[in-house]
Structures are given as structure tokens and as C-alpha cells.
Chains A and B, each alone.
Chain A
Amino acid sequence: MPVTKVTKDPVALTMTVEAEFSAPQERVWQLWADPRKLERWWGPPSYPATFVKLDLTPGGEAIYYMTGPDGNKTPHSSWNIVETDPPNSIVLRDQFSDEAGTPDPDFPIVGMRVNIDDIGGGMTRMSIHNEFASVEAMDKMLAMGMQEGMTQAVGQVDAILAEAVPA
């Protein structure tokens, strides 16, 4: 399993996930920087994300929505890129926004720091540190319908992983 460590602090409302991939650093970076790749993992399989904008330069932004199994779109969300150092790190804020990406200033959802490190031997470590603004924000995002998507997604992920085994 690529996930090597998960650290959760229910008081500070933070979570850090670490994973190691058998792939070069640049390819792991492309999971974030290539919108067509990003769309394949950001949303669960039953709620795929569509990125209408992806600009990972400092001060840049991303705008996306997800589409549910019934074809309904979720409200738009956006990322504000605080810092980037390709292919090593990104710091961003993920939040609800309007279609133009203008965030609701009163409602930051989650701050995220992603570090991508070459650890040798053809392996790359990615750590994602999440800081949640509030319990309410955490809950609202889950209640948006993603949770249902996640539950449904479990079987589909297994199917995709099975298919992905090289013949």
C-alpha cells in the first residue's frame, strides 16, 4: 500500500497523509499539475472533478466542480495557490467559491501543504498536510454529497485497481 503514515489531531483539526510511490518525482508532480490527471483522482469515481482552470503558479488559482452519478454538478470550489516550488511543493487553500473562483471570504475550508520528495531508488514520497478551519467546515464539505459518493466509490476503486494490473 502506498500510504505509509497518517497523523490526525482532532484538537488542532489537522491531518497529514504520507505515501510513497514507485515513480519519479516529476511524474508524481504531474498528478497535480496536469488537469486531466488531477481530474482522475481528486473526486471519487462516482463524483469526478472537472477543472475549468488550473494555474499552479504563486497567486494562481484552480476552479473545479464535481458531477454526481445523476449528472448533477456540485457547487464550484476553488484553490488559491499560496506558494509553489515545482516539482517539490505546493501550498494552497481549497474553498467554496462561485463559478468565477471568487471564494466566500468568511468560509475557508482547508489549507493544504503538499511536499513531493525524491527519496532515491526510483521512489517518491508525497506528504499532504491538511488544516481544517473548523469542525463546521469539515462537516459541510462532507455533507455536500461527497460522502455518498465515497461510499459508493469503494467498489469502483477496487474494480479500477484490478483493471490496472498490467496484463
Chain B
Amino acid sequence: MQAVGLAAQSATQFDRVFGALADGTRRDIVRRAISGDEGVVELAAHYSMSFAAVQKHVAILERAGLVGKHRVGRRKVVRTELEGLHLAQRLLDRYEEIWRERIDLMSTILEEGKEN
């Protein structure tokens, strides 16, 4: 019953995670930061909005635990915290299982039709 375990996690953490992912720019930042080789300045160059606005988005993602700042040599890069994404990934994995089961059942129904 892993799902119950997930449900029992604090609502606040959920609020942070899904609030952070509700914005298109923030989702894009999370994607770009998977490679973890850009700092806030480099990230900001991808968007038409101000540096301050991008910085704010990064801060929201940081609070949600979805990205972190890491020192690489003399630079500080923004890197996606894969554990933060892990919850969403685990849930998607569950839905994949559900759809695989459903499609197996569909096949069964279609096979029966052939016999008639």
C-alpha cells in the first residue's frame, strides 16, 4: 500500500510541489536543470522575462525541493533534485501499470469477439 504512504505525506509538501509545477516557465526550468550545467544567469538567458523574474521562479522551485543550487568549481549551478521529481515519476509509474492492466483487459474482450 505505497499509495497510502504517499497520501500520508504532508499536504504542505504537496502544495509546494504542485504549485511549483503549475507554471510553464518553472516546468521548463526544471527540464533544463536536469543536466545541471547552468547557473541562474545562463538559465535567465533562455527567457524573455527579466533576470529577477527568473530568479524568483528558481527560488519557488528551490522551496518546493525541485531544484537545488550546487557549487561546481567556482560556479553555482541549478540542478533538478531528482528525488523531488521522483514522487511524480512514481505516481506516473502507477498509472502506467493501471493502463497496462486496462489494455490487457481490452485485448481479452476483443479476442472474445473474434470467436463469435
A contact set with B: CB distance below 8 Å: 2-3, 6, 8-13, 15, 17, 19, 21-23, 27-28, 31, 37, 40-42, 44-45, 128, 130, 132, 134-136, 138-140, 142-143, 146-148, 150, 153-154, 157, 160-161, 164, 166
- The answer to whether A3 and B112 touch across the interface, beta carbons within 8 angstroms, is no
- The answer to whether A21 and B101 touch across the interface, beta carbons within 8 angstroms, is no
Closest chain A residue to B15 by CB distance?
A136
- The answer to whether A11 and B110 touch across the interface, beta carbons within 8 angstroms, is no
CA distance A19 to B103 in the complex (A): 7
Residues in A with CB closer than 8 Å to B109 are: 31, 37, 40-41
CA distance A22 to B109 in the complex (A): 12
Residues in A with CB closer than 8 Å to B92 are: 8-10, 13, 15, 138
Known: A41-B105, A139-B91, A142-B91. A8 touches B96 (CB 8 A): yes
Query: What are 26 contact pairs spanning A and B, CB under 8 A?
Result: A3-B99, A3-B103, A8-B92, A10-B88, A15-B95, A19-B103, A21-B110, A23-B110, A23-B114, A27-B110, A42-B102, A130-B95, A134-B18, A136-B18, A138-B91, A138-B92, A138-B94, A140-B7, A142-B3, A147-B4, A148-B3, A150-B94, A150-B97, A161-B107, A164-B108, A166-B111
CA distance A157 to B106 in the complex (A): 11
Q: Is B2 an interface residue (CB 8 A)?
A: yes
CB distance from A100 to the nearest CB of B (A): 26
- The answer to whether B21 and A147 touch across the interface, beta carbons within 8 angstroms, is no
CB distance from A161 to the nearest CB of B (A): 6
Residues in B with CB closer than 8 Å to A17 are: 96, 99-100, 103
Closest chain A residue to B18 by CB distance?
A134
- Measured as residues with beta carbon below 8 angstroms from the partner, the interface class of chain B is 35 or more
CB distance from A133 to the nearest CB of B (A): 8
Contact partner of B7 (CB less than 8 A), chosen from A9, A37, A139, A160, is A139
Q: Is B27 an interface residue (CB 8 A)?
A: yes
CA distance A139 to B4 in the complex (A): 9
Closest chain A residue to B91 by CB distance?
A138
CA distance A44 to B102 in the complex (A): 7
CA distance A17 to B93 in the complex (A): 12
- The answer to whether A142 and B105 touch across the interface, beta carbons within 8 angstroms, is no
CA distance A150 to B106 in the complex (A): 16
